[in-house]
Protein backbone atom coordinates (compact mmCIF):
# COMPACT_ATOMS: atom_id res chain seq x y z
CA UNK A 1 0.00 0.00 0.00
CA UNK A 2 1.24 3.50 -0.91
CA UNK A 3 0.36 7.12 -0.24
CA UNK A 4 -0.73 9.38 -3.08
CA UNK A 5 -0.92 13.12 -3.63
CA UNK A 6 -4.12 14.54 -5.09
CA UNK A 7 -5.76 17.92 -5.59
CA UNK A 8 -9.18 18.16 -3.87
CA UNK A 9 -10.93 19.02 -7.17
CA UNK A 10 -9.44 15.97 -8.87
CA UNK A 11 -10.52 13.70 -6.03
CA UNK A 12 -13.99 15.22 -6.12
CA UNK A 13 -14.30 14.58 -9.87
CA UNK A 14 -13.18 10.96 -9.38
CA UNK A 15 -15.62 10.36 -6.50
CA UNK A 16 -18.52 11.92 -8.43
CA UNK A 17 -17.74 9.76 -11.49
CA UNK A 18 -17.71 6.61 -9.35
CA UNK A 19 -21.11 7.56 -7.92
CA UNK A 20 -22.57 8.25 -11.38
CA UNK A 21 -21.54 4.74 -12.38
CA UNK A 22 -23.59 3.43 -9.46
CA UNK A 23 -26.65 5.28 -10.84
CA UNK A 24 -26.63 8.32 -8.56
CA UNK A 25 -28.16 11.47 -10.01
CA UNK A 26 -25.72 14.16 -11.17
CA UNK A 27 -26.49 16.66 -8.38
CA UNK A 28 -26.46 13.94 -5.70
CA UNK A 29 -23.12 12.60 -6.93
CA UNK A 30 -21.55 16.06 -6.96
CA UNK A 31 -22.84 17.03 -3.51
CA UNK A 32 -21.82 13.71 -1.95
CA UNK A 33 -18.35 13.99 -3.51
CA UNK A 34 -18.02 17.51 -2.14
CA UNK A 35 -18.95 16.39 1.40
CA UNK A 36 -16.50 13.47 1.39
CA UNK A 37 -13.63 15.46 -0.10
CA UNK A 38 -14.20 18.35 2.32
CA UNK A 39 -13.75 15.76 5.08
CA UNK A 40 -10.51 14.54 3.47
CA UNK A 41 -9.18 18.11 3.24
CA UNK A 42 -9.74 18.42 7.00
CA UNK A 43 -7.42 15.45 7.40
CA UNK A 44 -10.29 13.26 8.67
CA UNK A 45 -9.42 10.48 6.23
CA UNK A 46 -11.25 7.81 8.24
CA UNK A 47 -14.57 9.40 7.19
CA UNK A 48 -13.81 10.86 3.75
CA UNK A 49 -13.66 9.17 0.34
CA UNK A 50 -12.21 6.05 1.96
CA UNK A 51 -15.76 5.03 2.91
CA UNK A 52 -17.28 5.46 -0.54
CA UNK A 53 -16.47 1.97 -1.78
CA UNK A 54 -18.39 0.25 1.04
CA UNK A 55 -21.24 2.73 0.90
CA UNK A 56 -21.78 2.35 -2.86
CA UNK A 57 -22.11 -1.43 -2.51
CA UNK A 58 -25.39 -0.70 -0.68
CA UNK A 59 -26.88 0.62 -3.95
CA UNK A 60 -25.99 -2.53 -5.89
CA UNK A 61 -27.73 -4.80 -3.37
CA UNK A 62 -30.84 -2.67 -2.81
CA UNK A 63 -30.04 -1.45 0.70
CA UNK A 64 -29.94 2.12 -0.67
CA UNK A 65 -31.96 3.51 -3.58
CA UNK A 66 -30.28 6.02 -5.92
CA UNK A 67 -33.66 7.04 -7.37
CA UNK A 68 -35.32 7.82 -3.99
CA UNK A 69 -35.62 11.28 -2.40
CA UNK A 70 -36.10 12.20 1.25
CA UNK A 71 -39.47 13.61 2.33
CA UNK A 72 -40.82 15.72 5.21
CA UNK A 73 -43.41 13.59 7.01
CA UNK A 74 -44.41 15.94 9.88
CA UNK A 75 -43.41 19.44 10.86
CA UNK A 76 -44.02 22.38 13.15
CA UNK A 77 -42.64 25.93 13.15
CA UNK A 78 -39.34 24.87 14.75
CA UNK A 79 -39.06 21.17 13.95
CA UNK A 80 -39.56 18.54 11.27
CA UNK A 81 -39.33 14.79 10.87
CA UNK A 82 -37.91 13.57 7.57
CA UNK A 83 -38.07 10.09 6.02
CA UNK A 84 -34.85 9.45 4.14
CA UNK A 85 -36.47 6.62 2.13
CA UNK A 86 -32.99 5.02 1.99
CA UNK A 87 -31.90 7.64 -0.56
CA UNK A 88 -28.33 8.96 -0.83
CA UNK A 89 -27.54 9.59 2.86
CA UNK A 90 -25.20 12.58 2.39
CA UNK A 91 -27.88 14.35 0.35
CA UNK A 92 -30.63 13.56 2.90
CA UNK A 93 -28.46 14.89 5.73
CA UNK A 94 -27.61 18.04 3.74
CA UNK A 95 -31.29 18.74 3.01
CA UNK A 96 -32.19 18.11 6.66
CA UNK A 97 -29.66 20.65 7.93
CA UNK A 98 -30.82 23.14 5.29
CA UNK A 99 -34.34 22.69 6.66
CA UNK A 100 -33.17 23.15 10.27
CA UNK A 101 -31.43 26.38 9.21
CA UNK A 102 -34.59 27.61 7.43
CA UNK A 103 -36.67 26.88 10.56
CA UNK A 104 -34.13 28.71 12.75
CA UNK A 105 -34.29 31.76 10.45
CA UNK A 106 -37.92 32.26 11.47
CA UNK A 107 -38.24 30.51 14.84
CA UNK A 108 -34.75 31.15 16.22
CA UNK A 109 -34.11 27.40 16.50
CA UNK A 110 -34.78 24.40 14.27
CA UNK A 111 -34.61 20.66 14.98
CA UNK A 112 -34.87 18.17 12.11
CA UNK A 113 -34.83 14.44 12.78
CA UNK A 114 -34.29 11.88 10.03
CA UNK A 115 -35.27 8.20 9.87
CA UNK A 116 -34.58 5.46 7.26
CA UNK A 117 -31.16 6.72 6.38
CA UNK A 118 -27.59 5.47 6.43
CA UNK A 119 -24.02 6.59 6.92
CA UNK A 120 -23.58 10.38 6.55
CA UNK A 121 -19.79 10.45 7.02
CA UNK A 122 -18.37 13.14 9.32
CA UNK A 123 -21.02 14.86 11.45
CA UNK A 124 -18.97 18.06 11.35
CA UNK A 125 -19.80 18.87 7.73
CA UNK A 126 -23.48 19.43 8.56
CA UNK A 127 -22.78 21.44 11.72
CA UNK A 128 -20.47 23.70 9.70
CA UNK A 129 -23.31 24.34 7.20
CA UNK A 130 -25.14 26.22 9.98
CA UNK A 131 -22.04 28.16 11.02
CA UNK A 132 -21.66 29.29 7.39
CA UNK A 133 -25.15 30.83 7.79
CA UNK A 134 -24.06 32.51 11.03
CA UNK A 135 -25.87 30.00 13.20
CA UNK A 136 -24.79 27.48 15.80
CA UNK A 137 -25.12 24.02 14.26
CA UNK A 138 -25.33 20.61 15.92
CA UNK A 139 -25.42 17.30 14.03
CA UNK A 140 -25.48 13.72 15.28
CA UNK A 141 -26.46 10.18 14.39
CA UNK A 142 -27.03 6.87 16.13
CA UNK A 143 -25.20 3.80 14.88
CA UNK A 144 -24.96 0.03 15.31
CA UNK A 145 -23.45 -1.01 18.66
CA UNK A 146 -19.65 -0.93 18.86
CA UNK A 147 -19.12 0.53 22.32
CA UNK A 148 -19.21 -0.77 25.88
CA UNK A 149 -20.72 1.28 28.70
CA UNK A 150 -19.26 1.44 32.22
CA UNK A 151 -19.78 -1.97 33.83
CA UNK A 152 -20.76 -3.80 30.62
CA UNK A 153 -18.96 -6.48 28.65
CA UNK A 154 -19.28 -6.35 24.85
CA UNK A 155 -20.98 -3.85 22.56
CA UNK A 156 -23.97 -1.95 23.92
CA UNK A 157 -24.26 1.45 22.19
CA UNK A 158 -23.08 2.92 18.88
CA UNK A 159 -20.17 5.32 18.65
CA UNK A 160 -22.92 7.91 18.14
CA UNK A 161 -20.98 10.93 16.85
CA UNK A 162 -21.91 14.50 17.69
CA UNK A 163 -20.56 17.69 16.16
CA UNK A 164 -21.16 21.34 16.83
CA UNK A 165 -20.03 24.42 14.90
CA UNK A 166 -20.11 28.04 16.02
CA UNK A 167 -19.39 31.18 14.01
CA UNK A 168 -16.47 32.69 15.89
CA UNK A 169 -16.24 36.34 14.84
CA UNK A 170 -12.75 37.12 13.60
CA UNK A 171 -11.62 33.51 14.12
CA UNK A 172 -12.56 30.63 11.79
CA UNK A 173 -15.75 28.82 12.77
CA UNK A 174 -15.16 26.67 15.81
CA UNK A 175 -16.18 23.07 15.31
CA UNK A 176 -15.88 19.99 17.41
CA UNK A 177 -16.63 16.74 15.60
CA UNK A 178 -16.25 13.60 17.66
CA UNK A 179 -17.44 10.07 18.20
CA UNK A 180 -18.71 9.55 21.75
CA UNK A 181 -16.35 6.58 21.96
CA UNK A 182 -12.76 7.30 22.98
CA UNK A 183 -11.88 6.81 19.29
CA UNK A 184 -13.92 6.24 16.12
CA UNK A 185 -14.23 2.53 15.18
CA UNK A 186 -12.55 3.26 11.85
CA UNK A 187 -9.38 4.41 13.61
CA UNK A 188 -9.14 1.00 15.30
CA UNK A 189 -9.90 -0.90 12.10
CA UNK A 190 -7.31 1.24 10.32
CA UNK A 191 -4.68 0.48 12.99
CA UNK A 192 -5.53 -3.22 12.62
CA UNK A 193 -5.07 -3.03 8.83
CA UNK A 194 -1.73 -1.27 9.29
CA UNK A 195 -0.61 -3.77 11.97
CA UNK A 196 -0.28 -1.02 14.57
CA UNK A 197 -1.17 -1.04 18.25
CA UNK A 198 -3.62 1.52 19.62
CA UNK A 199 -3.42 3.86 22.62
CA UNK A 200 -4.65 2.58 26.00
CA UNK A 201 -8.22 3.60 26.78
CA UNK A 202 -9.67 2.96 23.30
CA UNK A 203 -10.69 -0.70 23.42
CA UNK A 204 -11.71 -3.55 25.73
CA UNK A 205 -11.20 -7.21 24.78
CA UNK A 206 -13.79 -10.01 24.77
CA UNK A 207 -13.67 -10.18 28.58
CA UNK A 208 -14.14 -6.44 28.99
CA UNK A 209 -10.46 -5.85 29.87
CA UNK A 210 -8.68 -2.77 28.43
CA UNK A 211 -6.29 -3.67 25.55
CA UNK A 212 -3.96 -1.93 23.05
CA UNK A 213 -4.23 -4.78 20.51
CA UNK A 214 -6.81 -4.02 17.77
CA UNK A 215 -6.50 -7.42 16.06
CA UNK A 216 -9.69 -8.88 17.60
CA UNK A 217 -11.91 -5.92 16.76
CA UNK A 218 -14.66 -5.69 15.48
CA UNK A 219 -15.32 -9.46 15.80
CA UNK A 220 -14.76 -9.35 19.59
CA UNK A 221 -14.29 -6.68 22.22
CA UNK A 222 -15.80 -3.21 22.22
CA UNK A 223 -14.77 0.40 22.01
CA UNK A 224 -14.57 2.33 25.26
CA UNK A 225 -16.67 5.47 25.69
CA UNK A 226 -14.72 8.75 25.71
CA UNK A 227 -14.01 9.83 29.27
CA UNK A 228 -15.85 6.81 30.74
CA UNK A 229 -19.34 7.72 32.05
CA UNK A 230 -19.19 11.14 30.34
CA UNK A 231 -18.99 9.75 26.79
CA UNK A 232 -21.57 7.11 27.69
CA UNK A 233 -23.94 9.86 28.84
CA UNK A 234 -23.54 11.80 25.59
CA UNK A 235 -23.98 8.66 23.46
CA UNK A 236 -27.31 8.16 25.23
CA UNK A 237 -28.36 11.74 24.43
CA UNK A 238 -27.53 11.13 20.75
CA UNK A 239 -29.44 7.81 20.80
CA UNK A 240 -32.45 9.73 22.11
CA UNK A 241 -32.40 12.80 19.84
CA UNK A 242 -31.40 10.90 16.68
CA UNK A 243 -32.91 7.47 17.37
CA UNK A 244 -35.80 7.47 19.87
CA UNK A 245 -37.45 10.71 18.67
CA UNK A 246 -37.19 9.83 14.96
CA UNK A 247 -38.32 6.18 15.22
CA UNK A 248 -35.02 4.86 13.80
CA UNK A 249 -33.62 1.45 14.77
CA UNK A 250 -32.03 1.49 18.23
CA UNK A 251 -28.75 -0.12 19.31
CA UNK A 252 -28.75 -3.89 18.62
CA UNK A 253 -31.69 -3.56 16.16
CA UNK A 254 -29.47 -1.35 13.98
CA UNK A 255 -27.90 -3.09 10.96
CA UNK A 256 -24.44 -1.76 10.15
CA UNK A 257 -24.30 0.47 7.06
CA UNK A 258 -21.41 -1.74 5.91
CA UNK A 259 -22.98 -4.64 3.96
CA UNK A 260 -22.53 -8.27 5.02
CA UNK A 261 -21.22 -7.74 8.56
CA UNK A 262 -21.31 -11.11 10.33
CA UNK A 263 -24.12 -11.41 12.91
CA UNK A 264 -25.74 -8.18 11.73
CA UNK A 265 -29.56 -7.85 11.78
CA UNK A 266 -30.92 -8.24 8.22
CA UNK A 267 -32.13 -5.34 6.07
CA UNK A 268 -30.79 -1.91 5.29
CA UNK A 269 -29.37 0.43 7.91
CA UNK A 270 -32.12 2.47 9.57
CA UNK A 271 -30.04 5.13 11.26
CA UNK A 272 -31.54 8.16 12.90
CA UNK A 273 -29.95 11.56 12.58
CA UNK A 274 -30.65 14.92 14.19
CA UNK A 275 -29.76 18.38 12.96
CA UNK A 276 -30.17 21.50 15.09
CA UNK A 277 -29.61 25.11 14.10
CA UNK A 278 -29.75 28.03 16.54
CA UNK A 279 -29.85 31.63 15.37
CA UNK A 280 -28.09 33.12 18.39
CA UNK A 281 -28.03 36.58 16.81
CA UNK A 282 -31.83 36.67 17.30
CA UNK A 283 -31.34 36.43 21.05
CA UNK A 284 -28.52 39.00 21.12
CA UNK A 285 -27.33 40.86 17.98
CA UNK A 286 -24.99 39.73 15.20
CA UNK A 287 -22.40 42.34 16.25
CA UNK A 288 -22.58 41.47 19.94
CA UNK A 289 -22.35 37.73 19.22
CA UNK A 290 -19.36 38.16 16.89
CA UNK A 291 -17.60 40.48 19.31
CA UNK A 292 -18.07 38.11 22.25
CA UNK A 293 -17.05 35.02 20.26
CA UNK A 294 -13.95 36.84 18.99
CA UNK A 295 -13.09 37.76 22.59
CA UNK A 296 -13.62 34.18 23.76
CA UNK A 297 -11.48 32.71 20.97
CA UNK A 298 -8.70 35.24 21.53
CA UNK A 299 -8.81 34.66 25.29
CA UNK A 300 -8.32 30.93 24.79
CA UNK A 301 -5.55 31.42 22.21
CA UNK A 302 -3.71 33.71 24.61
CA UNK A 303 -3.93 31.37 27.63
CA UNK A 304 -0.55 30.64 29.27
CA UNK A 305 0.91 27.58 27.54
CA UNK A 306 1.91 24.39 29.27
CA UNK A 307 5.60 23.54 29.20
CA UNK A 308 6.51 22.13 25.77
CA UNK A 309 3.22 23.23 24.12
CA UNK A 310 3.70 25.34 21.01
CA UNK A 311 0.14 26.39 20.40
CA UNK A 312 -3.36 26.37 21.76
CA UNK A 313 -6.02 25.52 19.17
CA UNK A 314 -9.71 26.16 19.06
CA UNK A 315 -11.73 23.10 18.01
CA UNK A 316 -11.75 22.94 14.21
CA UNK A 317 -8.66 25.10 13.80
CA UNK A 318 -6.39 22.17 12.97
CA UNK A 319 -8.87 21.06 10.28
CA UNK A 320 -9.21 24.55 8.72
CA UNK A 321 -5.43 24.85 8.46
CA UNK A 322 -5.15 21.41 6.83
CA UNK A 323 -7.90 22.35 4.39
CA UNK A 324 -6.16 25.58 3.40
CA UNK A 325 -2.96 23.64 2.72
CA UNK A 326 -4.82 20.92 0.80
CA UNK A 327 -6.50 23.50 -1.45
CA UNK A 328 -3.19 25.22 -2.15
CA UNK A 329 -0.86 22.22 -2.52
CA UNK A 330 -3.00 19.11 -2.75
CA UNK A 331 -3.15 16.54 0.02
CA UNK A 332 -1.45 13.28 0.73
CA UNK A 333 -3.89 10.41 1.07
CA UNK A 334 -2.72 7.67 3.46
CA UNK A 335 -2.17 4.17 2.03
CA UNK A 336 -5.43 2.69 3.32
CA UNK A 337 -7.40 5.47 1.60
CA UNK A 338 -5.53 4.91 -1.67
CA UNK A 339 -6.16 1.19 -1.36
CA UNK A 340 -9.90 1.75 -0.89
CA UNK A 341 -10.04 4.19 -3.84
CA UNK A 342 -8.17 1.72 -6.04
CA UNK A 343 -10.78 -0.90 -5.13
CA UNK A 344 -13.54 1.58 -5.87
CA UNK A 345 -12.04 2.38 -9.29
CA UNK A 346 -11.99 -1.34 -10.05
CA UNK A 347 -15.60 -1.86 -8.87
CA UNK A 348 -16.83 1.14 -10.85
CA UNK A 349 -14.85 0.28 -14.01
CA UNK A 350 -12.71 3.42 -13.93
CA UNK A 351 -9.35 2.73 -15.57
CA UNK A 352 -7.02 5.10 -13.82
CA UNK A 353 -6.72 6.93 -10.54
CA UNK A 354 -5.60 10.47 -11.43
CA UNK A 355 -3.24 10.66 -8.47
CA UNK A 356 0.49 11.14 -8.06
CA UNK A 357 1.31 7.76 -6.54
CA UNK A 358 4.00 6.67 -4.07
CA UNK A 359 4.38 10.01 -2.36
CA UNK A 360 6.03 9.97 1.05
CA UNK A 361 3.31 10.57 3.69
Q: How far is the CB of 353 from ligand NAD (least distance, A)?
A: 24
- Give 246: exposed, middle or buried? Use CB within 10 Å, 0-12, 13-18, 19+: buried
Instruction: Check: CB of residue 148 under 8 Å from CB of residue 156.
Output: yes
How far is 185 from 249, CA to CA, in rounded Å? 19
Nearer to ligand NAD, 283 or 327 (CB): 327
C-beta nearest to ligand NAD: residue: 122
Q: How far is the CB of 274 from ligand NAD (least distance, A)?
A: 13
Nearer to ligand NAD, 22 or 257 (CB): 257
Q: How far is the CB of 121 from ligand NAD (least distance, A)?
A: 6
Instruction: Check: CB of residue 56 under 8 Å from CB of residue 260.
Output: no
Those residues with Cβ within 8 angstroms of residue 23's Cβ, 6 or more apart along the chain or in another chain = 59, 66, 67
Q: How far is the CB of 123 from ligand NAD (least distance, A)?
A: 4
- Give 195: exposed, middle or buried? Use CB within 10 Å, 0-12, 13-18, 19+: exposed
Instruction: Check: CB of residue 316 under 8 Å from CB of residue 173.
Output: yes
How far is 151 from 155, CA to CA, in rounded Å? 11
Nearer to ligand NAD, 36 or 353 (CB): 36
Q: How far is the CB of 89 from ligand NAD (least distance, A)?
A: 9
Nearer to ligand NAD, 145 or 315 (CB): 315
Nearer to ligand NAD, 174 or 353 (CB): 174
Nearer to ligand NAD, 121 or 345 (CB): 121
Instruction: Check: CB of residue 235 under 8 Å from CB of residue 158.
Output: yes
Residues of this chain that interact with ligand NAD (CB under 6 A) are: 44, 46-47, 119-124, 141, 143, 159, 161, 163, 175-179, 183-184, 187, 313, 315-316, 318-319
DSSP 3-state assignment of 155?
coil
Q: How far is the CB of 300 from ligand NAD (least distance, A)?
A: 9
Amino acid sequence: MNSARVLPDTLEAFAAEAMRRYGLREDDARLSAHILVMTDTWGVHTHGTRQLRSLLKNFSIGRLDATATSEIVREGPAWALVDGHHSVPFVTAHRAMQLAIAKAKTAGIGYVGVVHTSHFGAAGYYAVMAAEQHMIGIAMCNADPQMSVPGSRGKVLGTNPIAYAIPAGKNSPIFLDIATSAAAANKIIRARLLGQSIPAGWLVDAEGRPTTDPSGFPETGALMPMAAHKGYGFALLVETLAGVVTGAALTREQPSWVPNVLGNPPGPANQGQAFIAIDAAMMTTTDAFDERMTWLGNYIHAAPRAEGAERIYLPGEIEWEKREKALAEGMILPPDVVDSLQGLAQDAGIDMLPFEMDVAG
